[in-house]
Structure 1
Amino acid sequence: MPEPMLRAQAIAELTAPGQPGELVDIVAHGRKVKAFKNAPPTLRDYYELYVTDLPFLIYEDERYTFREAWQQASRIGHVLVHQCGVKPGDRVAISMRNYPEWMMTFSAITSIGAIAVAMNAHWQADDMAYALVDCGAKVLLADQERLDRLAQKPVDGLQVLAVRAIELKAGARDLKAVTAAVGDVPMPPVAMHPDDLAIMLYTSGSSGRPKGVPSTHRMVITALLSWELDYAILDKVNGVVRPEPVEQPGTLLAVPLFHVTGLHSSYLGSYRLQRRLASMHRWDAEKAAELIDRERLTSLGGPAAVTGDLIRVAQSGKYSLATLASLGGGGAPRAPEQVRQIDASFAQAVPNIGWGMTETNAIGAGIVGQDYLDHPTSSGHCSQVLELRVTDESGRVLPPGERGELWVRGTSVFTGYWNNPEANQQSFDGDWFRTGDGATIDAEGYLYIVDRIKDLIIRGGENIGCGAVEAALLMHPEVIEASVYAVPDERLGEEVGATVYGTDRLDVDQLRRFLEAHLAKFEIPRYIELARAPLPRTPSGKILKREIKQAAIARLTTST
């Protein structure tokens, strides 16, 4: 076994000229950034490198090899180009559960020069229609649940391809039928550049409407290779040489594909690793454990709620989870106790976590194994293609250990929100992106996320904008004022709480039923308190949200 080495030396060796992880300085979108010299230029090039006959996608009793998935993606690409008129730069939206078609469609869209818009499948009709209009989608691929919502608020001029639909709504065509009719065809040829836009995800902000986050091929591929480099650095530092796996690795897709954790880490990362990917209709810890046991899966990544559920099933001893080698996290920090429970509850699963955002293509910092056990509240060290800093309110860089706002810049960081110059002006200082996260970085370079400056709730890895929930509450005719905030929750990390002041006729149960038509289920407040008087405000008229939150949490704590 080789001798361990210092981190700086390991980084220098692994990124040096001639190495697979060689980094070079380039200019992209007017920014000087570090790029992987040996990276595939585009996602299409990336997919084509890994068209093999190994098993790839698993969904219930369905199985697809990498080659079969690519063949089906090529048929979808042919339909989009030749029947839907999709051209490079056009936006094509996906809104469905984690079906194999989600992934095949995504690879098709990003291989024909179009922009794959990964829509939040939890959205109700209003947000769904807003995003389709905002991104200017030419085509939507959707399953039955999303088709039903679209029917409530149709979008003019939108072409629709239906996936696993029982009832075709007006104008929709069945994807299975149209792709079967074209037979075996190659992916349509198209010229693409690494700095062309490839994807767009929507992120919830503290204001009402979701914001589009577009990213280029280079940004996405850089993120995938960055994780690989992080692990290589860790192995060199620890003097570890990983043996070739005795069987094909497999991962459980435990989060929605419209999140960067599911899309980048679970799905796209599987190509390069030649890893099987098993997905479920929805998260269910018992079914997940049964699937891990039956398929001998080796990894899973998800928020604290998901890994916490799996720990409880593992402790029951009902299933063999001995093949699990990695249990990743993201979306929000884990409680230190859960980090220790992962280490204690699985035969070989190594805990890991990272900090990243939709805006950074999921990367930022990461920490694994014993390093994580030794620093259970940290998100780890910065990626080699990014820079992190912590600043005060004036933008002054703070010394190690001092708390401020986390800023990030680098190759995988997007360059601006879609059609939203006001948000861009607020979010960027030159090429530094203000994350809105309160953080510290210690003298050894470990990142610690302390809180969020932005008014967001992270419930089981889902970002919920307080402003969006407040806007829905204020739509109710009996609601006068509303304040929405995060309530700590052992399983989900945070739950949604609301304090509402209204008329004497305001009824909490009726208010919840009203919200069902305007919010996704996960956004509806679990805790709703009715205030007897107008909500407290600052002299300038702003509602004192922190004071309201603290009082509400104190009452909830007392009552439990």
Structure 2
Amino acid sequence: MSIERWQTAWRQLIAPGAPFEVVTPNDGAPRYFRHAPRNLLQVIDAGRVHGDREFLIWQTQRLTFNQFFDQVDRLAEQMVAQFDLQPGERVAIAMRNQPAWLVAFAAIQQCGGVCVPLNSWGLRDELQHGLQDSGSRVLLCDEARFNTLAEDLRREQRATIVVGARDGVLPEYCLRFEDLIIAPAAPFPARPIDPEQAALILYTSGTTSRAKGVVSSHRAISQALFALDFQGAFCAMSSPERIGVVINSGYLPTILAAVPMFHVSGLHAQFLSALRGGRRLLLMYKWDVEHALDLIRDERCTQFNGAPVMMQQLLASPRFASEHTASLFGLGLGGGASSAGVLDNMLRLKPEVIGGAGYGLTESNGIGAAIGGDPFVYKPASAGWALPIVDIRIGDDPHQAQSAGARGLIWLRSPTLMSAYWNLPEATSHCLRDGWLDTGDIGYLDDEGFLTITGRVKELINRGGEKISAAEIETCILDMPGVLEAAAFAIADPLLGEVVGLAVHGQASSLPQEPQVCAFIAERLAAYKVPARVYRLLDPLPRNATGKVLKAHMQENLDA
């Protein structure tokens, strides 16, 4: 392994005339990829060349690229014909992962609409907030979400397309998705799309407050997707032996998609990247580790990306080290910090694996830093180097960067950043400052330029003036045998203001007791970081759709 060799490969990829040529504007604007698509229509239409190759697999449904695009074209034509959908109008999607979700997204873009993916895990109030806040004219939803919202949709007479509706008469304001995708399609003229035009409103997780709508332009998403392509190319150049094993295996590139499509890791890194690249995409309705292993075995999946808790469950299964995962060469981590134990297990059980991780936010379209292949083996706990179109600064002020190794607030600048929070100018100005994104995350850049995430600003526990990172404690205790999940948080204390509380989840037979947990942490971290109270939980920690622990909800139940 050689840092110099990796840096040379990096420079070759972004040089003038190279496939991933990076342009530095004279006006001080962020760098960008010269050859990236201009808008999402170009991104989506690139998938049409793959023809009769198999694209989507979900339960009993199997679609080729041609069949997928046939449904997209028919749905787009029908949305214009039935609803007179105009460019710039918002169209919401509320359903669990299935082919209709992907068809709907592509059709909305073909109409020039703005797609509003809603959190399908949300309850009625959360779904209604997204619909009303975005002002979506049309809703595409599955039957479960339709039933949840039935009273609201009837009251508002909101135009709705229902997927998988059982036999029976739908209300007059509803159409059946299955009817629309077999209706005759009369192609309508392509609608011109300005790269700066809004393409997407993705709602943030909303773990502590109302979810905010993140507005992204066609250009921002297209640059983000090209950055993902760059990372794949750089991984191949920096890890030729690992890539050679994959190529020589003969397996078709097949992604197991278990994360929701209403999140950037599912929408950008899996769906849209697979569509452009001609890769098979296997959709899971919801995460289940045994079912995931069945799918990996039966469909010969080559790539799985998931949150650390998913990866932990996958690695913990006795089946992982068996022939059931013989085809699985790519493992990607995202959505949270991983413990050293998870990373060690991944590399021990699959030494030839192309492991990877990354760092990004909904507000940056998932783009920030990335690492994969040999560099991942070199520094598995880091988030990698800033991607070529990204500037990363550490400190309270992005214009006064701190030195290597100093921890502080992480700022990002790139062409992939959101345009704004939807209808929230004050929140936008607080988060976006002079073109820099205040991520709310804490981390540092080492002397080789690798980024490491150490916690969240809002998840710092202030114990008598000493700031403690919740993430540091969680990462530490996850290395203790018997602990499957962990969440650290502040507990009010009359003397110190706040002290550390820690919830740990595991099996009843192996979950350590409070004194053992505290002793384990005391051997590894400063005394003031040892929890004042440990809660042992036999049920998994509550999480939102993106895999983040719902700490406020959990604490309410702990205190009840």
Task: Give the alignment's TM-score, normalised by structure 1.
Answer: 0.80
Q: Which amino acid aligns with 2:177?
A: L
The change in CA–CA distance for 1:546 and 1:250 in structure 2 (over 3 A counts) is: same
- Aligned to 1:293, what secondary structure does the other structure show? helix
SS at match of 1:287: helix
Rounded Cα–Cα distance in structure 2 between residues aligned with 1:31 and 1:316: 49
Residue in 2 that maps onto 1:447:
451
Q: For 1:361-440, what aligned pairs fall within 5 Å after superposition?
A: 361-392=365-396, 396-440=400-444
Provide closer, same or farther for how the CA distance between residues 12 and 345 of structure 1 changes in structure 2, counting only shifts above 3 A: closer
Q: Distance in 2 between matches of 1:4 and 1:394?
A: 27
* Structure 1 residue 141: Cα displacement: 0.5
The partner residue of 2:44 within 47, 54, 62 is 47
Matches for 1:10-25 after TM superposition, within 5 Å: 10-25=9-24
Matching residue of 1:351: 355
Map 1:462-501 → 2, pairs under 5 A:
488=474, 490=478, 494-495=486-487
Q: 1:107 maps to what in 2?
A: 106
- For 1:288-321, what per-residue CA distance to the aligned partner results, in whole angstroms no more than 9, with x for missing partners? 1111111111001010111111112255656521
The counterpart of 1:556, out of the listed 522, 534, 539, is: 534
Q: Deviations along 1:436-461, whole A, 9 cap, x unmatched?
A: 0011111111101000013599xxxx
Residue pair 2:37, 2:222 contacting (<8 A) in 1 also:
yes
User: In 2, are the aligned partners of 1:56 and 1:66 still within 8 Å (CA)?
Assistant: yes
Q: Deviations over 1:503-532 (max 9, x none)?
A: xxxxxxxxxxxxxxxxxxxxxxxxxxxxxx
Which AA in structure 1 matches 2:533? Answer: R
Instruction: Work out whether residues 501 and 534 of structure 2, in 8 Å CA contact, stay in contact via their aligned partners in 1.
Output: no
- CA gap of 1:89–1:8, structure 2 versus 1, over 3 A, is same
**Alpha-carbon offset, residue 553 of structure 1:** 4.9
| Aligned twin of 2:162 | 162
Whole-Å separation in 1 of the counterparts to 2:188 and 2:251: 31
Q: CA deviation at 1:184?
A: 4.1
Consecutive unaligned residues of structure 1, counting only runs of 5 or more, are 458-484, 500-534
Residue among 156, 178, 201 paired with 2:180 = 178
What is the Cα deviation at residue 11 of structure 1? 2.7
Q: Which residue of 2 aligns with 1:232?
A: 233
Using the TM superposition, give the Cα deviation of residue 12 of structure 1 relative to its aligned residue in structure 2, in angstroms.
2.6
- Aligned residue identity for 1:356: G
C-alpha distance in structure 2 between counterparts of 1:296 and 1:384, whole Å: 33
CA distance in 2, matches of 1:112, 1:156: 23
- Shift of the 225–340 alpha-carbon distance from structure 1 to 2, 3 Å rule, reads same
> How far has the Cα of 1:25 moved from its partner?
3.7
Matches of 2:122 and 2:348, distance apart in 1 = 38
Partner of 1:145 in structure 2?
144
Change (3 A) 1:11 1:350: closer
Cα distance change of structure 1 residues 24 and 144 upon mapping to structure 2, 3 Å threshold: same
2:231 is paired with a residue whose SS is helix
Give the Cα–Cα distance (whole angstroms) in 2 for the partners of residues 241 and 310 of structure 1.
Answer: 21
Task: Give distance in 2, aligned partners of 1:256 and 1:396.
Answer: 38
- Alignment partners' CA distance in 1, 2:239 and 2:501: 48
User: May I ask how many residue pairs the two structures share in their alignment?
Assistant: 490
**Partner amino acid for 1:161?**
I
Deviations 1:245-301 (A, max 9, x none): 734210000101111111111111102321000012211111111111111110010
Distance change (3 Å), C-alpha of 1:289 and 1:206: closer
- Aligned partners of 1:23 and 1:434: how far apart in 2? 24
Report the Cα offset of residue 548 of structure 1. 6.4
Contact 2:23/2:32 (<8 A) preserved: yes
Structure 2 CA distance, aligned partners of 1:399 and 1:4? Answer: 20
How big is the shift at 1:197? 1.1
CA–CA distance in structure 2, aligned partners of residues 81 and 92 of structure 1: 12
